[in-house]
Chain A
Amino acid sequence: MKTIYLLIVLFPLVGALVAGLCGARIGREGAHWVTSLSVGISFVLSLIVLIGLIAGWVQPFNDTVYTWMVSEGIRFEIGFLVDNLSAMMMTVVTFVALMVHIYTIGYMSHDEENWPAGSLAGVNSYQRFFSYIALFTFAMLMLVMANNFLQLFFAWEAVGLVSYLLIGFWFNRPTAVFANLKAFLVNRGGDFGLLLGIGAVLLYFGSLDYVEVFAAAEADPDRTMSIFGGAEWKVVTVAGILLFIGAMGKSAQAPLHVWLPDSMEGPTPISALIHAATMVTAGIFLVARMSPLYELSEVALSFILVIGAFTAFFMGLIGLVQNDIKRVVAYSTLSQLGYMVVALGVSAYAAGVFHLMTHAFFKALLFLGAGSVIIAMHHKQDMREMGGLKAYMPVTYWTMLIGTLALIGFPGFSGFFSKDAIIEAVHASDRAGAGFAYPMVLLGVFVTALYSFRLFFMVFHGEGRMDHHTREHLQESPRVVTVPLILLAVPSVLIGLFTIGPMVFGGYFDGAIFVHRANDVLAHLGQDYSGPFGFIAHGFVTLPLYLAAAGVFTAWFLYLKRPDLPAVIQSRLRPLHAVLENKYGFDAFYIKGIAGGSRALGGFFSRVTDARLIDGVLVNGTAHSIGWVAGVLRRLQTGYLYHYAFAMIIGLVVMLTWFVFGAR
């Protein structure tokens, strides 16, 4: 099996290398074929592994690939852990990646237009793009297949690297290179926590291997460490929170969320692949993978719960005031990631991962649909210039409708199952913070429906507000674009119906995710679970469905029935609107406060401490006091000095040679 797992990760890597290094030679066709095929093979193999695991003819795998290094007997390794959790992730990642590869053939087909004249970087940009997304697929697979913290960190940073390269793909745009630097640095802020978390794990559990670490933590769960003075903290709490800070960076949880909306500067296919479906869910995956560790710390889980609940509601609110089509979807991603994190916080890991999976499909669909709209609009993204596109783009329209319904939790669609499972789990949980989280996730449903249908109505219905030229060229996107939309629409509708039973209430994750009996809210809910249709029926008697309906209705009323109203509301609620427009001031805090503060501090150290104090007083002071030395040196410097110096070296050579080989 090891060979198969190696092939799964190596195919995309080879594809990336070929497309990246030989891009000029193999041409555009060659590049998209080699990468799409290699990712396709990875998908098929992953699917086979997944089916095998479910059917039982593949056993969970945990083994080393190679030893990176050994120090003091501690092994730092590259190795795979393939069980039901990672196999599910591998399949989702490679499937979405494959869809995005195919879609990209259409989306980037005129990429040369995005580059300034004479730019040599624009010549093979198409091949480079394919190389990057295949490389991303490789890195993401390494992340979900890791069996140890070293490889986790490797892949964690590698996906960050590709994200950096892709956000700044059109690097002639100042906004893009601002966004990619911001994304990398904010993520590094998260990685800072992750690295320290790994430090804690190594110190207290003596290993970096997941299984060994979980066993060591389980054996001594009440061990404490001191950080601030005398106060003792449980090691699992400290390690758990530190590791989660890493997850907050990648999965864009407040306050480390600020990079994700800006990441929309990147081409749309990667917004779908990296910044919606896969990379940003790495944090969710991390916590689910570490469930044996987190189950030992109520405090860490409560922390996670509160962060997730805050993100789920308050980031959704910002989505209401965005006019850029991609940014609306981006804030929706933030909010949905918040839902997943909330699920983790109440120990409903399976529900969180379940939502991760359904979200991967419908959010990739929404982004690619938005991309299709953007192609039709000649790369304009402002929804205020759209409207009435339904007539021109039927496939995009219907698939987007499916994605939107899935997102708001329309009964029977995949998002309905996953979101309701989370809300029910929070409702049933008695963890500290659940009292705050429950209203947040409930109100979030209304907000989600409102911004989703606001987008939908503004783009597809009502009057067309685009200029004449754009209107004349409006047309449905080519088949390489629409086929992935259709292929993603299928699981967006169906996947929840078929998988909620085993994944959330069944034993699919047994052995991969560990939940303490007393914390197991899903098992508690499962007692009342009577199949997916019963779950749908139950949905009709609970609040979320009606909140979603209210959201859709509000959107309809405000943006179709009375399109004059939003402006009135906006002027009435100006302070609130300003708060949302400024995104609660997080950006200003980072840019002015942290970045500006560091620059000011660096400038002070550079100009005052280094230049005036050390150089001015100490060095030059010393130099003055022995000024005659400098004087002598200065006079010698007129051309004789190097003669003198060489005489010195040659003299030494002669002397040494004489003593060593001559004078016995």
Chain B
Amino acid sequence: MLESSWPLLSLLIWLPILGGVVVLALGDDREELGRIVALGTAALTFLFSLGLITGFQSGTAAMQFVELRSWVEALNVNYHVGVDGISMPLVVLTTFSTLLVMIASWRRVTVKPAMFQACFLMLNGIMVGVFSALDAILFYVFFEVMLVPMFLLIGIWGGANRIYATIKFFLYTFIGSVMMLVALVYLQFQAGGSFHILDFYGLDLPLNAQIWLFLAFLLAFAIKVPMWPVHTWLPDAHVQAPTGGSVILAAIMLKIGGYGFVRFSLPVVPEASMTLDWLMIALSLIAVVYIGLVAMMQQDMKKLIAYSSIAHMGFVTLGFFVIFAIADRTGGSGMLLALEGGMVQMISHGFISAAMFLCVGVLYDRMHTREIADYGGVAHRMPVFAGFFVLFAMANAGLPGTSGFVGEFMVILAAFQANFWYAFAAATTLILGAAYTLWMVRRVMYGEVANDEVAKLEDVDRRELTVLAVLAAAVLWLGLYPAPLIEIMEPSLENLLEIVAAGL
């Protein structure tokens, strides 16, 4: 383990939380100052997080930037953080997305602006905490606390039906995580009193215990991802959430589910993962096909993108749990490709879903409707915006050269190594993804100018342009040159495979 010379991760966790407190303290009266503090904090946090990339030692699976302090000594709970090739990219994605949201929502919110910004800053810190926690209880605390600001974001700044959506969101995710706490406590006993997550790896647990643990983790993480059939909270939450909330929800919070599977399910209970992999593969493929069909029929843009998120996250879980079937067939080659594909898909989906929701936000700010039927011919009025919209739509449809292609390509190729029909079902995304995304593009962007409201639309301003251009660059960069990201991840994922193999 590589100790850190100065507490970079703590900085990334606590700086935004502290910034949030300051913004709250400044209150709505000193709105302008609060806004600057908020943006400055987000920008600083992002800049510091770049230190993770520059200081990261690739080629090793060890935890880096590790900080370890005792927290609750009586229970052997530690403040223990660190990142490896799996979590580091997710941490940077978090700070990146938060900064973009801060810019995108600049002066957009008039109701309780201080609290609005504080929520995002705190979420930023908490989510970095989730990704970097190495102590199970610390992880659990962050995992739970994360719900509060998001709950508030939807509940206060959400749409008309926000109360229903918040309660659904809260119940779903809360129920999921309670089970996980029980699992974590059980594991602590098995690990001889340690809450260190890495100590949970390689425990020699009987299969039936593993199965129970697996199901507990599954409930917690499947709801977050979300996987079919526990996905119905997501479309409602997205529809009601303000733009920024949707961006964070889609770009980061869903990833916590995927992260949980690689950090806990696979290495802690490998035997159960293998025993139940058929279930995970089935649910993933249902996400791709079934949800893809459902997405096609949505009339609300945000709902459509929400469903498309579920379909895309299906590739993440497929990549993670198809490895056992691959091993059966090939004896090992292809497993890493599957895991890497799932991870790349998470990062890529972070960029693309953020971009798609921001695009809908741009339209919503002008028209105050998300109904596809209220639009038509927008490209006549907003040609620059249309260019970005089509680019992101193509990325969402997995066009090569964009990030959306990379993960899906890897997972489909890997799935082929397990079973032709897995790849066959997964590859339907080529058609379904294009169908639901481009059909929306056609109805919103193309055609004659639909009505007087559309005829009055103004193209993107400089602030919106900046955000979209940055995301476009990210989408293209990952699509054209994914090698550096893979290089960062590979040792940690290789190590994960070794841990899994040793546990079988």
Q: Pick the contact of B333 from A72, A120, A184, A225 — CB < 8 Å?
A: A72
Q: Is A185 within 8 A of B156, CB to CB?
A: no
- Is A171 part of the binding interface, using a Cβ–Cβ cutoff of 8 Å? yes
**0/1 interface trace, chain A 14-57, chain B, CB 8 Å (1 if under):** 00000000000000000000000000000000000000000000
**0/1 interface trace, chain A 224-238, chain B, CB 8 Å (1 if under):** 010100000000000
- Distance in angstroms between the alpha carbons of A153 and B334 in the assembled complex: 20
Q: A177-B442, A649-B122, A659-B79 are contacts. A71–B337 as well, Cβ < 8 Å?
A: yes
Q: A189-B431, A633-B170, A659-B79 are contacts. A619–B438 as well, Cβ < 8 Å?
A: no
- Distance in angstroms between the alpha carbons of A161 and B397 in the assembled complex: 11
- Is A591 part of the binding interface, using a Cβ–Cβ cutoff of 8 Å? no
Q: How many pairs, one residue from A and one from B, have CB atoms within 8 Å of each other in the complex? A: 205
| Set of chain A residues within 8 Å of B167, measured between Cβ atoms | 623, 630, 633-634
Q: Is B438 within 8 A of A120, CB to CB?
A: no
Interface residues of A in 319-342 (CB under 8 A from B): none
Stretch at the interface among A193-201, A369-377, A413-421, A547-555: A193-201
- Distance in angstroms between the alpha carbons of A660 and B10 in the assembled complex: 10
Q: Is B400 within 8 A of A192, CB to CB?
A: no
- Distance in angstroms between the alpha carbons of A177 and B448 in the assembled complex: 11
Taking CB as reference atom, which chain B residue is nearest A200?
B416
| Set of chain A residues within 8 Å of B171, measured between Cβ atoms | 622-623, 629-630
Q: Is A653 within 8 A of B21, CB to CB?
A: yes
Chain A proximity of B466: nearest CB distance (Å): 16
**0/1 interface trace, chain A 185-212, chain B, CB 8 Å (1 if under):** 1001101100110111011000000000
Taking CB as reference atom, which chain B residue is nearest A122?
B380
Q: Pick the contact of B448 from A116, A609, A652 — CB < 8 Å?
A: A116
Q: Is B459 within 8 A of A120, CB to CB?
A: yes
Which interface residue of B167, B172, B446 has the most chain A CB atoms within 10 A?
A: B446
Interface residues of B in 450-495 (CB under 8 A from A): 455, 459, 480-483, 486-487, 490
| Set of chain A residues within 8 Å of B203, measured between Cβ atoms | none
Q: Is A119 within 8 A of B380, CB to CB?
A: yes
- Distance in angstroms between the alpha carbons of A185 and B232 in the assembled complex: 28
Q: Pick the contact of A618 from B122, B145, B229, B412 — CB < 8 Å?
A: B229
Q: Is A599 within 8 A of B297, CB to CB?
A: yes
Q: Pick the contact of B17 from A66, A74, A225, A653 — CB < 8 Å?
A: A653
Chain B proximity of A27: nearest CB distance (Å): 17
Q: Is A660 within 8 A of B71, CB to CB?
A: yes
- Distance in angstroms between the alpha carbons of A191 and B427 in the assembled complex: 9
- Distance in angstroms between the alpha carbons of A174 and B443 in the assembled complex: 10
Stretch at the interface among B270-278, B354-362, B417-425: B417-425
Chain B binding site: helix, strand, loop or mixed by DSSP?
helix
Q: Is B294 within 8 A of A121, CB to CB?
A: no
- Distance in angstroms between the alpha carbons of A633 and B151 in the assembled complex: 12
- Is B44 part of the binding interface, using a Cβ–Cβ cutoff of 8 Å? no
Chain B proximity of A470: nearest CB distance (Å): 26
Q: Is B380 within 8 A of A199, CB to CB?
A: no
Taking CB as reference atom, which chain B residue is nearest A206?
B333
**0/1 interface trace, chain A 286-300, chain B, CB 8 Å (1 if under):** 000000000000000
- Is B141 part of the binding interface, using a Cβ–Cβ cutoff of 8 Å? yes
- Is B435 part of the binding interface, using a Cβ–Cβ cutoff of 8 Å? yes
- Is B155 part of the binding interface, using a Cβ–Cβ cutoff of 8 Å? yes
Q: A623-B167, A642-B152 are contacts. A177–B424 as well, Cβ < 8 Å?
A: no
Stretch at the interface among A424-432, A515-523, A564-572, A600-608: A600-608
| Set of chain B residues within 8 Å of A653, measured between Cβ atoms | 14, 17, 21
Task: Offer 26 A-B interface pairs, CB within 8 angstroms, sorted by A.
Answer: A69-B483, A70-B486, A71-B490, A74-B337, A116-B380, A119-B380, A119-B449, A121-B383, A157-B399, A178-B442, A195-B409, A195-B427, A196-B416, A196-B423, A202-B416, A203-B413, A602-B293, A602-B294, A606-B294, A614-B229, A623-B171, A630-B171, A653-B17, A653-B21, A656-B71, A659-B71
> What 4 pairs between A and B have smallest CB-CB spacing?
A199-B416, A602-B293, A119-B380, A171-B446
Interface residues of B (CB under 8 A from A): 10, 14, 17, 21, 24, 69-72, 79, 115, 122, 141, 145, 148-149, 151-152, 155-156, 163, 167-168, 170-172, 229, 232-233, 290, 293-298, 330, 333-334, 336-337, 340, 377, 379-383, 386, 390, 394, 399-401, 405-406, 409-410, 412-413, 415-417, 420, 423-424, 427-428, 430-432, 434-435, 438-439, 442, 445-449, 455, 459, 480-483, 486-487, 490
